[in-house]
Amino acid sequence: MTTAGADLSARIALRPLKESDFTKRYLAWFRDPEVTRFLEARNISRADAAAHLRAGEDGKRWALYAICLRADGRHIGNLKIGPIDWRHRVSDLVTVIGERDAWGQGHARAAIRAGIAIAFDELNLRKLSASIDSRNLGSIRAYEAAGFTVEAALKDQFMDDSAGAPVFSNKVYVGCFNRAFDAGATNE
């Protein structure tokens, strides 16, 4: 990792997400059309957030983390490892930076790298994936910079009709392999 990459990683920390994180500010992220533009989660309530957190913990189906700035501890986003398929040792890795003033500073890339370390070193997962709307170039770049590669794209998978006439975009799949499982890690 370059010095700049190391400095960037030192600026954020992941910690388990907890119910006390579901503040008015947090819930506002999921009501902000710019933050939720490419998200499925929108207009969630505190009860929705708490139920999702508990469901993941209870079934060990996913783990949710707060992305926090080390300098002041401010919670700026979330990282989710899941749903986890324990049989095949694969999972999605999803990020959102909810604080718009933290966009474009490399925090998502640093959080993705930290999430990879948790998934591979602590959870012993074999592969991580994410699916991204092709219009979300910042997210695609963040995953690629963190070590993911583009594996596939589904043509016109998304439709956005918020401006009247529908706009179609592709669903881009990115993946990252745990090299401890080298026998199955191919990039064909």
The 10s digit of each residue's pLDDT in 168-179 is: 999 999 999 999
Q: What angle do CA 93, 95, 96 make, to 5 degrees?
A: 160
Mean pLDDT is lowest, of 1-15, 41-55, 105-119, 170-184, for 1-15
- Predicted confidence band of residue 57 (pLDDT cuts 50, 70, 90): confident
**Between residues 104 and 10, which one has the greater pLDDT?**
104
Structure tokens at 186: 């191919």
187 falls within a domain: no
85 falls within a domain: yes
Say how many domains are in the chain: 1
84 falls within a domain: yes
The per-residue pLDDT for range 120-161, each reduced to its tens digit, is: 999 999 999 999 999 999 999 999 999 999 999 999 999 988
The residues near 18 (Cβ < 8 Å, ≥ 6 apart) are 53, 66
What pTM was estimated for this model as a whole?
Answer: 0.89
Beta strands in 33-74 (DSSP E): 63-69
The per-residue pLDDT for range 73-130, each reduced to its tens digit, is: 999 999 999 999 999 999 999 999 999 999 999 999 999 999 999 999 999 999 999 9
186/188 Cα distance (integer angstroms):
6
Structure tokens at 108: 């998502």
Domain that holds residue 113: 3-182
Q: Around Cβ 123, how many Cβ atoms within 10 Å?
A: 17
Cα 134 to chain centroid, rounded? 15
112 falls within a domain: yes
172 falls within a domain: yes
Tally the C-alpha atoms within 13 A of residue 39's C-alpha that lie toward its C-beta: 21
151 falls within a domain: yes
188 falls within a domain: no
CB burial class (10 A; 0-12, 13-18, 19+) of residue 103? middle
CB 128 within 8 A of CB 158: no
91/123 Cα distance (integer angstroms):
10
The per-residue pLDDT for range 177-186, each reduced to its tens digit, is: 999 887 554 5
31 falls within a domain: yes
CATH number of the domain where residue 95 is located: 3.40.630.30
